[in-house]
Amino acid sequence: MEPQARTLVDISGSHAALAGRADMVLERARWAAEVFQRYDRESTMAIADAVAAAAHDSAERFADWAVRETGFGVAAHKKLKNQLTSRPLVDFYRNDDYVNPRIDEARKIVEIPRPAGVILALTPSTNPIATLNYKVLISLMTRNAIVISPHPAARECSVDAARALGEAAMDAGAPDGAIQIIENPGIPLVEELMVSPKTSVILATGGTAMVRSAYSSSNPAIGVGPGNAPVFVDSTADIDKAAKRIVESKSFDNSALCTNESVLITLEDVDARLRRSFKQAKAYICDADDVDRLRRYLFHDRGFNIECIGRDAAWIAQECGIRVPDGTLVLLAPIAQIGVEEPLSREKLCPVLAYHVVKRRNQAITQARAVLRLAGAGHSAAVHAMDEQVAMAFASAVEAYRVVVNTPCTQGAAGFQTALAPTFTVGTGFYGRSSIGENIGPGHLVHWTRLAYNSDASEYFGNYRGLKPGFSGPLPEAPSDGVPGSNGYRARRAEADAGVFSGVTREELRRMIAEELRAVLRK
């Protein structure tokens, strides 16, 4: 008979067990982070590149898997997102150095990067792999350890993807435990992870409840609220292009990204032309009855029907009993009001775009502000206009920290057709009750220790060029005395001298190396 390890007394749901599990994962990450800080830039970037390559290579496999597991989105688009969040992401930051000190001779200040330590990353079901890739890579580039807590609906693909990235990282020399994932992420366990003093910062992407919970944890948090992007199409816009771009944006991964346009606002004198352009761009314009059906289907008493997240337009139309032409990419739903009484003016993570016509530009701005007041404060907005005064007026009025101009908002606000930082965590800033108002990147995972000299011009400033902290790399492996093959251990001298004062002179180094060589030769 085979022996089985059985549980007679199950404590797995107890606070002690949950806290114990969380603590163990986080402490392993803390060790990894501590060792990671000893790495120089070259080895850091080699790890990031290796992991990015692994993510890139498996982009398609995990895109298919994510769609299969969650039912959200379009596999081809997810593949693209998975790719964008791998090699191109690392390339985007390649010239930013988060490892070596920065010297500002004019201000007599030297800045030394200090990684956060342990990043607790919450990843969503809508963009599970792209978000995971992105959070892993910005953590690695900054020599942080990351613990990923995936959305339960995307657990399986996330666990597999994280394991693959973890292996790639280890193969490239990353410290053991630099990438970990919670395999059974129940809410109580995630809460333990969030409140642990061993978590340095929570990087929360997901639903409002979870993001608020991250902020309530007492730990530093970078959380992002939901989106609900208003898009204004002005009379000065290139109407055909605007329609095309909006359709491209809304149909990209079927609007599973929170940067997708939610409510379109345009002017009376643009309305007819814009509708024609939309039709050409394969958008279907709903009649009043269709809109009723859509409204009832998309919004329950409990809120948005998550069944529709990332579903394509034809599927949604069919579910609602709306007949649409073949190849329809987006459903346009004209609405007369914006606000609490019109659910369609809320966030819709599907290719349904509310369509609202106003009389004047300033009314468009008022309505756009109302959209964001309803939901999505601090997130994204878009404007299509050739007149920069219009863009300026719109952008300075709406409470969004990124307003993309003449660009698909889904991609543009996330930094994929604009020069904004490519991200899967859009900082919703103070408007969105968040700590950061820009696209989150590696820079947010590092703080800097500043050596500041006396600013008096007559006071001396040191020559810091070429000076670096003691990058001593991975810990040397301790011996297992007596185990076959372990006889070779000798204390690494560089290690012996590394420490707070690692100012070993060249001469001393030369002497040490010579000594070691002599010792080897004597053997």
What residues act catalytically?
A: 258
Give the C-alpha separation, 166 to 157, whole Å: 14
Give the C-alpha separation, 79 to 407, whole Å: 21
Q: What strands lie across the sheet with 261-267, from one edge to the other?
A: 283-285, 330-334, 352-358, 261-267, 229-233, 378-384, 400-405
* Short-list 458, 457, 456, 462, CA closest to 110: 462
Which two structure tokens, joined as six digits, stand for 502? 């690692």
The whole-angstrom distance between residue 109's C-alpha and the CA centroid of its chain comes to 31
Distances (CA, A) of 332 to 251, 283, 296, 335, 442: 12, 7, 15, 9, 37
Q: Does 503 bind other proteins (CB under 8 A)?
A: no
Q: Does 106 bind other proteins (CB under 8 A)?
A: no
Give the C-alpha separation, 451 to 105, whole Å: 11
Nearer to other proteins, 6 or 302 (CB): 6
Q: Does 476 bind other proteins (CB under 8 A)?
A: yes
Q: Rg of the chain over CA atoms, in angstroms?
A: 27
Q: Does 507 bind other proteins (CB under 8 A)?
A: no
Give the C-alpha separation, 75 to 128, whole Å: 12
How many residues belong to the site for other proteins (CB under 8 A)?
Answer: 45
Among 31, 304, 430, 464, binds other proteins (CB under 8 A): 31
Q: Which of residues 275-304 bind other proteins (CB under 8 A)?
A: none
Q: Does 478 bind other proteins (CB under 8 A)?
A: yes
Give the C-alpha separation, 156 to 152, whole Å: 8
Q: Does 28 bind other proteins (CB under 8 A)?
A: yes
Distances (CA, A) of 118 to 26, 77, 193: 7, 31, 11
**3 state SS of 497:** helix
Taking the complex as a whole, the smallest distance from the CB of residue 103 to other proteins amounts, in Å, to 29
Q: Does 521 bind other proteins (CB under 8 A)?
A: no
Q: Does 500 bind other proteins (CB under 8 A)?
A: no
Q: Does 505 bind other proteins (CB under 8 A)?
A: no
Q: Which of residues 176-205 bind other proteins (CB under 8 A)?
A: 176-177
Contact status, residue 152 vs residue 193, Cβ threshold 8 Å: no
Nearer to other proteins, 150 or 427 (CB): 150
Give the C-alpha separation, 134 to 126, whole Å: 14
Q: Does 7 bind other proteins (CB under 8 A)?
A: yes
Give the C-alpha separation, 342 to 312, whole Å: 22
Among 76, 496, 514, 517, binds other proteins (CB under 8 A): 496
Q: Which of residues 158-177 bind other proteins (CB under 8 A)?
A: 176-177
Nearer to other proteins, 209 or 483 (CB): 483
Per the DSSP assignment, residues forming a β-bridge with 283 are 330
Give the C-alpha separation, 219 to 507, whole Å: 46
Amino acid at 396: S
Among 91, 287, 289, 495, binds other proteins (CB under 8 A): 495
**Which span (21-29, 281-289, 298-306, 445-453) binds other proteins, by CB under 8 A?**
21-29
Q: What strands lie across the sheet with 145-150, from one edge to the other?
A: 179-181, 145-150, 118-123, 201-204, 221-223
Q: Does 498 bind other proteins (CB under 8 A)?
A: yes
Nearer to other proteins, 47 or 309 (CB): 47
Among 64, 69, 497, 516, binds other proteins (CB under 8 A): 497
Q: Does 481 bind other proteins (CB under 8 A)?
A: yes
Give the C-alpha separation, 91 to 76, whole Å: 22
**Which span (17-25, 237-245, 256-264, 384-392) binds other proteins, by CB under 8 A?**
17-25
Q: Does 480 bind other proteins (CB under 8 A)?
A: yes
**Which span (253-261, 321-329, 385-393, 469-477) binds other proteins, by CB under 8 A?**
469-477
Taking the complex as a whole, the smallest distance from the CB of residue 87 to other proteins amounts, in Å, to 28
Among 8, 106, 209, 521, binds other proteins (CB under 8 A): 8
**Dihedral pair phi/psi, residue 414, rounded to 5°:** -85, 5
Nearer to other proteins, 8 or 209 (CB): 8
Among 209, 419, 457, 491, binds other proteins (CB under 8 A): 491
**Which span (22-30, 74-82, 281-289, 301-309) binds other proteins, by CB under 8 A?**
22-30
- Angle at the Cα of 103 from the Cα atoms of 99 and 107, rounded to 5 degrees: 140
Among 326, 487, 507, 523, binds other proteins (CB under 8 A): 487
- Binding footprint of other proteins on the chain (CB under 8 A): 3-11, 14, 16-17, 19-20, 24-25, 27-28, 30-32, 34-35, 176-177, 475-487, 491-492, 495-499
